[in-house]
Structure 1
Amino acid sequence: MNRKPSALIIGTGIGGLSCAIALKKIGWSVRLFEKADGLRATGSGLSVMSNASAAMKKLLDIDLGLEHYGAVIQNFEIRHKSGLLLNRLPVQAIADEQGVPNVCISRAQLQRALLEQLGDVDMSCGKRVDGYTETDNAVQVDFADGTTASGDILIGADGFHSAVREAIGTTSVIQEAGYICWLALVQYSHPQITPGYVGHYWGKGKRIGIIDIGNGWVYWWGTANMPNHEARQWRGTNADVAKVYAGWPDIVSDIILSTPSESIISVDAKDRSFPQTWSKGRVTLLGDAAHPMLTSLGQGAGMSIEDAAVLGDVLRNAEDYSAALRQYEAIRQPRAQAIVEASRALSDVEQYEQFLPRLKRDVGMRFVQKRTMRERLQASLVFDERAVYAQ
């Protein structure tokens, strides 16, 4: 009986779990390793846009079923800080054409959805990577606790501060974006927050998003321009956050003050320079380990899931695993780099402080032609499987 090929996956976040799902689907044996003492899902939310679920469905016939765990986007609004509606984004129409939804969801619920899809799996926690060695037919990971593990390939899905990225010698420099992000979940009701509601407000060097994630829960995030070193040191209350948005619509201060201070997470906004190399021999990177990005396009999770789907597709009938990993890298890098750069560019625009750039931004959003808007959105929201099969 032929032995199943085996993959060692470092990291149990969205990318790691999605990768395990994809590789199990094609008949691989997978082992997951996590440096933390257990699985964690921070108290915030995110979006998994239609391109991610489409990649899994089109390439591997996997239905993630995320609509059963979060809220399908029904209404996506961009508003001025005054409350003026600038535009509604046609994200649902694009999702309908792909036959899969855009879903807003808590990290905990997304983790649950992925774990239930994955089923039984070999997972070890408290495993910090200390290096690896490679032979002609295997790769061995060395952990800080003195243990080792061997497999046919090694996948670094270990996030922004990836130890696997460092181990293969790939350079990716931290780039500070110059603002703080506040993130929170709260049980909250308001007439404006209808099922599947997403509302973004733009102001002077600050913005806020209010998002339905289902079952009476709302995810909100806010940003404000601030040097990153100050953002890392920020320690404040819900009242301090609410003051940042003084004079904005009542729903903004109300939802912030309805959130216990201890439930508000603050992080400094940053990404990394795009690495030229993801793979080395039998080792590759996936998700934030390969291409961390700013949140403006809401595609961090989606790109990780797309990575997993493409990796599963190229490994399905592979005999030369190193060559397959290089093929995966060649397929994914152009799209991932485009999304990283687009996220960074949009972030700059959204955080404008000067009057004229803000006026141009807001007027442009208010009067953009529907066709132009749709074309811009399709660049990220549509997964084109032909780009994979063309490789």
Structure 2
Amino acid sequence: MEIGILGGGIAGLSVALALHQQGYRPRVYERRAAPATMGAGVTLWPNAGFVLQELGLLRDIEAVGGRPVMAHRYDAAGNALGGVDIALLDRTMGYPTQTVLRRDLQAVLLKHAARAGIPVEFGHRAAAIDLDAHGKAVAHFENGVSIRPDLLIGADGRMDSVARKFVAGDNTPIYQGFVNWIGVAQGQSALVDDIAIQDFWGAGTRFGCVAIRTDLLYWAAAQARPLPGETSTSGIRKEIEDLFAGWPEPVARIIRATPAHAIRLIAVHDLEPLHTWSRANVLLIGDAAHAPLPTSGQGACQALEDAWHLARCLEGASGSLDEVFQQFTKIRSPKTTRLAEQGRIFARALFAMDPETCRIRNERAKASNPVRDVQILAEGWAQGLPMPRYAGGMPVDGVGVSSLYAPE
């Protein structure tokens, strides 16, 4: 079976590797002219660790990533609001959490794709998908190339997915009321004291930093605001420094350690859940199918899960592609829909402007039971995966990270 994959990001490359393990020979088509270098980093939680191990990638990720042991929460004055014991979470789920720069994760995926002989065609921006006379999808690229694979996988992201437009008839990302400035900071001296995640919550503002080493980390500064128009990089670091002036260290130190040209402003969007992820022989995965907010903490993790599950669904399949698509969507849709909604709920709590709402949020976070929090996260994130103690399990009380601290 000929398989074409639109998109050479995390979802596209990981599904290519998973399908190659099953004996398929996929071909990846990436819109960019070269591997992406933008973006900051990703946290690959234990459910992603399971998939990385299954794909034979975990050792290489460990070589370039960090192993956080704790996620600390603070208010804007530096008062502790508890945290998540990541070491306990890892032991509970049986796989490690890794923090890694997005470009390093991309490099690992590309290295393994090259080793497997998987073609990755750069400079192929999809322009449209239509159906031929036999009802088979044909993908047309802006460079004049067209392809007619037996299976066309749409892994072309959230903001301008041609595959999603073909499947759903529309692709309208929804602005969720806040922006992120993201960056990578590094220095000869330590920027942070340990390999941990630090999350500072204000009123309509947030600053989070994720260590890979004590002298290398990625960060995101966020603010609730109307959708910005055209933005300039001129003065971008000064704007962030002013916004977070007076916040506790290491916030100011991290911002100062980041070159202005390495800071990127993102207006944060997500997508409404789809009732169907496929049409004809086209299947959506990753952000094209389910694009959660970064507050879910699960965007990259769910892309990796998609890859693993699709390969399992295709393994030994005797029915039609439509039956495979239905099985895959039935497995994946409930979990990804739940995580997307939790990301929205958590974002509303994080970017609340009302002082009383912020006070309740902070008090709930401070009073939370760390062991219970780990149990909730473990059961929710392990859902549908054959992980120790949690194979096929449902999250405790149907809740997740969003419900830990959000005011009622």
Answer yes or no: same fold by TM over 0.5: yes
* Alpha carbons 1:234, 1:266 under 8 Å: kept: no
Instruction: Report the counterpart of residue 255 of structure 1 in structure 2.
Output: 254
The correspondence for 2:35, drawn from 33, 39, 52, is 39
Please tell me whether residue 169 in structure 1 is matched to residue 164 in structure 2. no
Instruction: Report the counterpart of residue 123 of structure 1 in structure 2.
Output: 120
Please tell me whether residue 85 in structure 1 is matched to residue 85 in structure 2. no
Structure 1's 384 and 337: CA in aligned 2 closer, same or farther, altered over 3 A? Answer: same
- Number of matched residues? 383
Q: Residues 318-371 of structure 1: CA distance to partner in whole angstroms, max 9, x if unpaired? A: 132221122111110000000000011101111111111100000100011234
Instruction: Report the counterpart of residue 65 of structure 2 in structure 1.
Output: 70
Counterparts of 1:237 and 1:128 in 2: how far apart (Å)? 30
Counterparts of 1:260 and 1:172 in 2: how far apart (Å)? 34
Counterparts of 1:11 and 1:238 in 2: how far apart (Å)? 31
Map of 1:104-183 to 2, 5 A cutoff? 104-118=99-113, 119=115, 120-129=117-126, 130-133=128-131, 139-160=137-158, 161-183=160-182
Structure 1's 234 and 356: CA in aligned 2 closer, same or farther, altered over 3 A? Answer: farther
Structure 1's 171 and 330: CA in aligned 2 closer, same or farther, altered over 3 A? Answer: farther
Counterparts of 1:288 and 1:227 in 2: how far apart (Å)? 23
Instruction: Report the counterpart of residue 222 of structure 1 in structure 2.
Output: 221
Instruction: Report the counterpart of residue 311 of structure 1 in structure 2.
Output: 310
Tell me, which stretches of 5 or more residues in structure 1 are unaligned?
Answer: none
Q: Residue type of the partner of 1:323?
A: E
* Alpha carbons 2:191, 2:216 under 8 Å: kept: no
Secondary structure at the residue paired with 2:291? coil
Secondary structure at the residue paired with 2:152? strand
Q: Residues 147-196 of structure 1: CA distance to partner in whole angstroms, max 9, x if unpaired? A: 22232200000001110111223445322111111000111367672442
Q: Residue type of the partner of 2:131?
A: T
Instruction: Report the counterpart of residue 203 of structure 1 in structure 2.
Output: 202
Counterparts of 1:168 and 1:205 in 2: how far apart (Å)? 36
Counterparts of 1:90 and 1:43 in 2: how far apart (Å)? 26
Counterparts of 2:292 and 2:55 in 1: how far apart (Å)? 27
Q: Residue type of the partner of 1:152?
A: D
CA RMSD across the alignment: 2.3
Tell me, which stretches of 5 or more residues in structure 2 are unaligned?
Answer: 394-408
Point out which structure has higher relative CO (alpha carbons under 8 A, 6+ apart). Answer: 1
Q: Which moved more, 1:134-143 or 1:36-45?
A: 134-143
* Alpha carbons 1:172, 1:275 under 8 Å: kept: no
Secondary structure at the residue paired with 2:296? coil
Secondary structure at the residue paired with 1:181? strand
Counterparts of 1:17 and 1:215 in 2: how far apart (Å)? 30
Give the TM-score of the pair, scaled to structure 1.
Answer: 0.91
Identity of aligned residues (%): 25
Give the TM-score of the pair, scaled to structure 2.
Answer: 0.87
Give 1:138 deviation, angstroms: 5.9
Structure 1's 364 and 234: CA in aligned 2 closer, same or farther, altered over 3 A? Answer: farther
Counterparts of 2:245 and 2:75 in 1: how far apart (Å)? 14
Counterparts of 1:171 and 1:242 in 2: how far apart (Å)? 39
Secondary structure at the residue paired with 1:228? coil
Instruction: Report the counterpart of residue 363 of structure 1 in structure 2.
Output: 363
Map of 1:4-43 to 2, 5 A cutoff? 5-43=1-39
Structure 1's 103 and 389: CA in aligned 2 closer, same or farther, altered over 3 A? Answer: closer
